[in-house]
Amino acid sequence: MTKLTDSEAARLHPETLALSHGFDPWLSEGAVKPPVFLTSTFAFKCAEDGKRFFAWAHGEGTPPPRREMGLIYSRINNPNLEIFEDRVAVWEGMKDAYSFSSGMAAIATTLLATHGPGDEMIVCAPVYGGTDSLIHHFLKRLGITAQFVPAGPDAPALAEPLITPRTRSIFIESPANPNNRLTDIGRMKELAQRHAPPAAGQATGRILVIVDNTMAGPVFAQPAKVGADIVLYSATKFIGGHSDVVGGVALANDDVLLTAIAQHRAMLGGMPNPYTAWLLTRSLETLKIRAEQQQRNAQQVAAFLVGHPKVREVLYLGLLQPGHPEHAIYQKQHTGPGSLISLHLRGGEKEAFAFLDHLKVFHLAVSLGSTESLAQHPATMTHSGLTPEDKRFGGVTDDLVRLSIGIENAEDLIWDLKQALEHA
């Protein structure tokens, strides 16, 4: 979007910038859409350019802005990755982003970039099963330990006594996966600053607030605006949105954090390939209209489920009422309830399986945020790796089912749920 000045671009909305930001057609033969740069390496015009580009990549000298540093090798930089990263950063209102081959690559690389042996984390549970395993097992072997508190309004009060001089981060999923519990990010930020105020101009030495915003998506929540230092995504979900690509994103505003994440991504090799980045860029163009339709459908589905005799409880942000302890958090952190619904059926695993096995429009599959509606059983699927104690701690019970509402006709989704519930 080379005709726009910086001030003109700043006044535009993300859904407008998602169509052209970060791409100059005249660098690609006038192509309106970015081509796929399927190349592993990039030619230098002269040897001096190669020397200078590598020096910048190693942080030497005074490098130019990241997009002007010169292309070297697709493990370090690639036009498709950079275009996607520019545009997803606009959605979050954050300084910059780095893309990854999966959400777990983004999470693992970020935690390795910001933690070392002897560091401690405070984690609001439940979290996605893969994240739980990473923290409980892999990071523990490296000498990084975690203390868990239940996600929800009481999390800050429960976390404070657990903070020690070695606490490096507070990790939050917002909303929590799979029970949609909300934790006050702003209060956690205040807690972090009170116990470890950042040194002037430095990211190190402070307690980082790290938020995985996959469950909400960037349309209805931007965690950095309420205190997150780092925001993470499985871009497979709402950002990709078509169940045809796997990817991840890490975003930050602090140059020290961004540099650490970038260097670890280059060392560990967790970047997406150019075609994956191209697909994610394509998906950003329709992110808002997809998310809004999914939300409209979810609101109708939730209203139906609330009154059904086979359903014990519906966990959906759109059902929070004034006076509920999480309602005030929702108002601060969200502009809409999104499209993820969890429900407790009357019964247990047997009833949950009977319900899932009789769905005809919903797909019985894990993941979320896609155009098609999905249903799954967290206790035996996404969160099956948790110990029985951790499942109870996080409210991942045998009667819990998670629904990801797609863009189908809402009446058809309700019909499908109604006929399947007859078998629960």
**Residue 160 pLDDT exceeds 70:** yes
Residue 203 has pLDDT above 60, yes or no: no
Would you say 404 and 374 are in contact if contact means Cβ atoms under 8 Å apart?
A: yes
Residue 404 · residue 369 · CB < 8 Å: yes
Tell me the pLDDT tens digit for each residue of 349-397: 999 999 999 999 999 999 999 999 999 999 999 999 999 999 999 999 9
* Letter string b/e over residues 330-365, b meaning 16 or more CB atoms within 10 A of that residue's CB: beebbebbbbbbbbbbebeeebbbbbbebbebbbee
The reply to whether omega before 175 is within 30° of 0 (cis) is yes
Confidence of residue 135 (pLDDT cuts 50, 70, 90): very high
Please give the pLDDT value at position 417.
Answer: 97
Measure the CA–CA gap between 302 and 405, rounded to whole angstroms: 10
What is the average pLDDT value for the chain, to the nearest integer?
93
Nearest to 215 by CA among 337, 320, 109, 311: 337
Per-residue model confidence as pLDDT tens digits over 326-338: 999 999 999 999 9
Continuous segment of H or E residues that includes residue 55: helix 47-57
Spell out the alpha helix ranges (H) of 269-409. 274-284, 287-306, 327-333, 349-357, 388-394
| Secondary-structure class of domain 73-284 per CATH | alpha beta
Minimal CA–CA distance to 183: which of 333, 359, 68, 361?
Answer: 333
Residue with tokens 């009789």: 358
Handedness of CA 113, 123, 383, 248 (dihedral sign): negative
- 161 exposure class (CB count in 10 Å sphere: 0-12, 13-18, 19+): exposed
Q: How many CB atoms sit inside 10 A of residue 210's CB?
A: 28
Domain extents in the chain: 73-284, 287-421
* Catalytic residue set: 75, 128, 212, 237
pTM: 0.92
Q: Where are the alpha helices (DSSP H) in 217-273?
A: 255-268
Q: Residue 90 has what pLDDT?
A: 93
Which pLDDT band holds residue 182 (cuts at 50, 70, 90)? Answer: very high
Banded model confidence at residue 1, pLDDT cuts 50, 70, 90: very low
287-306 vs 410-421: helix crossing angle, rounded to 10: 40
User: Could you tell me if 114 and 257 are in contact, meaning their C-beta atoms sit under 8 angstroms apart?
Assistant: yes
**Fold assignment, 287-421:** Aspartate Aminotransferase, domain 1 (3.90.1150)
For residue 264, pLDDT over 70 is answered with yes
From residue 305, alpha-carbon distances to 108, 324, 403 in Å are: 36, 19, 11
